[in-house]
Structure 1
Amino acid sequence: MNAVTLAALEAFPGQLEAHFAAFPSGFTQWAPPSWAGVPSEPLTALEQVCHVRDIEIDGYQVRFHRTLNECHPTLVSIDTDALVIERGYGTSDAAQALLDFRAARARTVALLAGLAPDRFDRSAVFEGYGPVTLRGLVHYLCSHDQQHLAGLQWLLGQIEASRVPANG
């Protein structure tokens, strides 16, 4: 796996924490009047943190292990909207979610960093994406990270827009 992608995966927990910390007091559960244009799932800042944690653990870690240990498995997508409700994202402890995510990402990076190069050629079918290798899954995870940083920045922009008086 290329070093740039692994480094990006390793750096992401700190970036996520910093982006979340940038939210003004009282705005971690704020939602805009419209989600039009959001570059990630339409989730509040707190919900995004919980989503990233759960996708790491219940999504990508499971997908990586199945791809490594099964013959061309079919990997399911996860219903984000259902998890928001089932796991009570809106009342979650952000600090604990960030700690849990940091620990999960460390396990992911350790797994990937320890693999022989040929293991990244293992294949699967990823629901909604089609045929994929383990290497491709790693790139999708890295892309998912970046989408959520963009989503948090988008929310910060929407917060600022909400503070502008109606008549400019």
Structure 2
Amino acid sequence: MNQATISALEAFPAQFEQFFLAIPKSHWNWAPESWDGIPSESFTAIEQVCHVRDIEIDGYHVRFRRLLSESNPTLDSIDGYALAKERRYADADPAKMFEEIRAARRETVQLLQNLTPEQLARSGYFEGYGRLTVKGLMHYLCSHDQQHLSGLQWLLGKIDSHARTKAA
């Protein structure tokens, strides 16, 4: 087990919420003129929060369960942009989203911390990633977290630049 990765997974919800709350409420649904260079998907701040919640619950929870219970499953990718429209991310309550993210992440970490080496080695195929193990999927989840922390910081940079451009 990689304790550094587990620690990062545990710390993510609080750090993600801090980054989100650094964004002025007036900009939770703000989008820049260009998304060039964003390190995550092209989502507004509130959309990123909803996306992370949905990918944790509808994506990673399902993928981990399938890898652990099925023989060599093929794991589907999720169309985050379709979910954003379907689930009306722009209208979401961030407090509720973060509550759900924290609960979902506790469940994820509890599952991963208790896996045996044999369970961590179980494998399958993940659309867009190729062959992987449970342990590899754990690292992809941590990578996804980091992309969205970076995405919120990127948005903060764009918001600051936009405000300074408007003031000039």
Determine if the TM-score, normalized by the shorter chain, exceeds 0.5: yes
**Structure 1: distance between partners of 2:167 and 2:110:** 53
TM-score, with length taken from structure 2 = 0.97
How many residues are paired up? 168
Change (3 A) 1:166 1:27: closer
Measure how far apart 1:166 and its partner are.
Answer: 6.6
| TM-score, structure 1 as length reference | 0.97
Which structure carries more helix by proportion? 2
What does residue 107 of structure 1 align with?
107
2:76 is the counterpart of 1:80: no
**1:10-59 CA distance string (max 9 Å, x none):** 00000011001100130111100000000000000000000000000000
Root-mean-square deviation over aligned CA pairs: 1.1
Give structure 2 stretches of 5+ with no counterpart. none
2:13 matched residue in structure 1: 13
Cα distance change, pair 32–119 in 1 and its aligned pair in 2 (3 A)? same
After TM superposition, give the deviation of residue 167 of structure 1 in Å. Answer: 9.4
Identity of aligned residues (%): 58
CA distance in 2, matches of 1:47, 1:99: 15
Residue 135 of structure 1 corresponds to which residue in structure 2? 135
Q: Which amino acid aligns with 1:153?
A: Q
- 1:164 matched residue in structure 2: 164
1:165 positional shift: 3.2
Match of 2:50 in 1: 50
Distance 1:121 1:96, change over 3 A: same
CA distance in 1, matches of 2:54, 2:42: 16
Q: Give 1:118 deviation, angstroms.
A: 1.8
**1:28 aligned to 2:28?**
yes
Per-residue displacement from partner, 1:48-82 (whole Å, max 9, x unpaired)?
Answer: 00000000000000000000000000000000110
Greater shift, 52-61 or 19-28, is seen at: 19-28
Instruction: Quote the Cα distance in structure 2 between the aligned partners of 1:89 and 1:165.
Output: 28
SS of aligned partner of 2:72: coil
Letter in 1 for 2:62: V
Unpaired runs of 5+ residues, structure 1, are: none
SS in 2 for 1:124: strand
